[in-house]
């Protein structure tokens, strides 16, 4: 939801409302995960003005999209600002009665309702509706697992989701039931949060993640990361399937991420900064926690699991790299390559989480081995190494539970 609010806040700041002096911003999220924002635009003939919601929808339609899954409206003032009767109808044209409508002021969310709840009413919210609880992801998780406070969050990458199936006292919530959670569309990514105990430690596993190549803005990853933080997590463990740029780190190896290079051309923190979450310019000199890396290396050695270490370079994808690109990336200092993890790591450091990154090497990068690369190979190799990675993560959780 934060990404919608960020987009709507920018539009809100740009609103043209010299007559009413009542600025409104709105943002819609499409089924494809894109966000379109709009502001109210008044003119001297008051009824000719455009509402913020109508402006956002117009931008969406002009870009060729037709389905909305979430709406956010932001305005200042004591009273909740809801879409007008006309905009409720306009939103209905592209959404459904279940479409969530977040009603915010510049400080954040005040209430979430559905479009279906708003439609029978012409303008405001009636009092009964106004008293209903807000529908945030945190609310949905706490309703499913009351009083459960995870200590660590784990984002499980391609083919690595099985760990979540081993949790004790597990409760699963589909991303579809978590407002604001971007939903993965790629095979190997299930799209649910599983809460439970791993070796006695309360954890929250995100089984599946979105990638920027799916068309979502980088800020989409802020929602799951900040939700984990708000639930009480202190540590975020990021796992992924990666290619290797080093012949000695072959397919089936596991590697600790020592640092990263962001070549995705995007950053999840672009847009208005949530000052309550973290600083405008967060320091990234130690993204991957040195003490936790040492702990994991020690645990792996004790278990006889070989753990390599390297710099992870993130590309946008979805195409794999050319051999010339891989040669260039080697010269830049990359050891591992993938299409995920970096936006989540940046968002997590911004929010003050300690971060650990682990890659399962599924292939030697383009040009380093004979034959073409395929996603099927990526998934197959990930499951072969997943058992060793699970052993290491279980022992890590056991230590944290005891400490
Ligand atoms: N390149 C990019 N991403 C990847 C690769 C790769 O070779 N292997 C697994 N994810």
pLDDT tens figures, 89-103 = 899 899 988 888 998
pLDDT for res 19: 84
Q: Is the pLDDT of residue 128 over 50?
A: no
pLDDT band at 135 (very low <50, low <70, confident <90, very high): low
pLDDT band at 46 (very low <50, low <70, confident <90, very high): low
Cα–Cα separations (whole angstroms), residue 100 to 111, 115, 155, 180: 10, 6, 25, 9
Helices (H) and strands (E) in the chain, counts: 11, 14
pLDDT in tens, 150-165: 999 999 987 778 888 8
Question: Of 78, 80, 81, 60, which Cα lies nearest the Cα of 70?
Answer: 60
Asked if 158 is an active-site residue, the reply is yes
- Cβ burial of 273 (10 Å; 0-12, 13-18, 19+) is middle
Distance 162 CA to ligand 1 centre (A): 20
Higher pLDDT residue, 21 or 394?
394
DSSP string, 24-68: EEEEEEETTS-EEEEE-B--SSGGG-B-HHHHHHHHHHHTT---E
**Residue of minimum CA distance from atom 5 in ligand 1:** 243
What share of the chain in percent tops pLDDT 90? 62
**Residue of minimum CA distance from atom 2 in ligand 1:** 338
Distance 241 CA to ligand 1 centre (A): 7
pLDDT for res 34: 94
What share of the chain in percent tops pLDDT 70? 91
Q: Quote the CA–CA distance of 70 and 222 in Å, as a whole number.
A: 16
Q: What is the mean pLDDT of the chain?
A: 89
Q: What is the mean pLDDT of residues 336-348?
A: 97
Asked if 213 is an active-site residue, the reply is yes
Asked if 340 is an active-site residue, the reply is yes
pLDDT for res 80: 77
Q: Is the pLDDT of residue 362 over 70?
A: yes
Q: What is the mean pLDDT of residues 192-203?
A: 96
Distance 374 CA to ligand 1 centre (A): 9
**Does the beta carbon of 363 sit less than 6 angstroms from any atom of ligand 1?**
yes
**Does the beta carbon of 40 sit less than 6 angstroms from any atom of ligand 1?**
no
Instruction: Return the structure tokens found at 74.
Output: 């932001």
**Catalytic entry in 124, 170, 309, 375:** 375
Q: Quote the CA–CA distance of 189 and 379 in Å, as a whole number.
A: 10
Distance 259 CA to ligand 1 centre (A): 17
**Does the beta carbon of 242 sit less than 6 angstroms from any atom of ligand 1?**
yes
**Residue of minimum CA distance from atom 3 in ligand 1:** 338
Order of strands, sheet of 35-39, starting from the edge strand that comes earlier in the sequence:
35-39, 24-30, 68-75, 100-105, 108-114
Residue where the block lists tokens 């279940």: 98
pLDDT for res 272: 83
Instruction: Return the structure tokens found at 212.
Output: 């920027």
Q: Is the pLDDT of residue 381 over 80?
A: no
Q: Quote the CA–CA distance of 238 and 234 in Å, as a whole number.
A: 13
**Does the beta carbon of 244 sit less than 6 angstroms from any atom of ligand 1?**
no
pLDDT band at 377 (very low <50, low <70, confident <90, very high): low
Look at the pTM and tell me if it is higher than 0.95: no
Q: Quote the CA–CA distance of 96 and 379 in Å, as a whole number.
A: 35
In sequence order, the 6+-apart residues with CB closer than 8 A to the CB of 204 are 150, 152, 153, 154, 193, 194, 195, 228, 231, 233
Asked if 124 is an active-site residue, the reply is no
**Catalytic entry in 241, 253, 255, 348:** 241
Ligand 1 atom with the shortest distance to the CA of 315? 2
Asked if 102 is an active-site residue, the reply is no
Q: Quote the CA–CA distance of 92 and 67 in Å, as a whole number.
A: 10
Ordered alpha helix ranges (H), 186-313: 222-231, 290-303
pLDDT for res 110: 80
pLDDT band at 133 (very low <50, low <70, confident <90, very high): very low
Q: What is the mean pLDDT of residues 177-188?
A: 77
Q: Is the pLDDT of residue 270 over 80?
A: yes
Distance 193 CA to ligand 1 centre (A): 25
Distance 159 CA to ligand 1 centre (A): 13
Structural domains of the chain, with CATH: 2-125 (3.40.140.10), 131-402 (3.40.50.1580)
**Residue of minimum CA distance from atom 10 in ligand 1:** 242
pLDDT for res 187: 60
Q: What is the mean pLDDT of residues 314-322?
A: 96
Instruction: Return the structure tokens found at 195.
Output: 């809460």
């Amino acid at each position: 939801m934060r990404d919608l609010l960020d987009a709507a806040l920018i539009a809100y700041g740009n609103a043209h409302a010299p007559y009413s002096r009542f600025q409104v911003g709105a943002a819609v999220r499409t089924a494809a995960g894109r966000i379109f924002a709009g502001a109210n635009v008044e003119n001297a003939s008051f009824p000719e003005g455009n509402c913020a919601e109508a402006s956002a929808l117009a931008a969406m339609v002009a870009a060729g999209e037709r389905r909305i899954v979430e709406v956010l409206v932001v305005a200042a003032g004591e009273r909740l600002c809801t879409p007008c009767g006309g905009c409720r109808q306009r939103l209905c044209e592209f959404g459904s009665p279940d479409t969530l409508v977040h009603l915010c002021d510049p400080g954040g969310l005040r209430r979430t309702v559905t479009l279906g709840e708003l439609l029978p009413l012409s303008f405001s919210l009636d009092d009964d509706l106004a008293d209903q609880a807000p529908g945030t992801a945190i609310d949905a998780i706490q309703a499913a697992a009351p009083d459960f406070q995870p200590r660590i969050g784990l984002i499980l990458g391609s083919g690595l989701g099985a760990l979540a199936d081993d949790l004790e006292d597990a409760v699963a919530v589909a991303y579809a039931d978590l407002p604001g959670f971007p939903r993965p569309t790629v095979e190997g990514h299930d799209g649910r949060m599983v809460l439970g105990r791993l070796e006695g430690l309360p954890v929250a596993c995100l089984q599946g993640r979105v990638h920027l190549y799916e068309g979502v803005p980088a800020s989409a990853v802020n929602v799951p990361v900040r939700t984990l933080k708000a639930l009480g997590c202190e540590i975020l463990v990021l796992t992924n399937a990666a290619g290797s740029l080093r012949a000695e780190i072959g397919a089936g190896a596991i590697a600790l991420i020592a640092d990263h290079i962001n070549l995705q051309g995007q950053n999840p923190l672009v847009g208005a900064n949530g000052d309550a979450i973290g600083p405008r310019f967060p320091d990234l000199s130690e993204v991957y926690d040195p003490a936790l890396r040492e702990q994991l290396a020690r645990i792996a050695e004790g278990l006889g699991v070989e753990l390599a270490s390297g710099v992870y370079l993130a590309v946008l994808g979805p195409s794999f790299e050319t051999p010339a690109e891989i040669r260039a990336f080697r010269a830049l200092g990359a050891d591992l390559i993938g299409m995920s993890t970096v936006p989540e790591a940046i968002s997590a450091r911004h929010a003050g989480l300690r971060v650990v990154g682990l890659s399962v090497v599924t292939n030697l990068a383009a040009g380093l081995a004979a034959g073409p690369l395929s996603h099927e190979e990526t998934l197959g190799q990930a499951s072969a190494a997943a058992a060793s990675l699970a052993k290491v993560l279980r022992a890590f959780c056991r230590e944290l539970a005891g400490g």
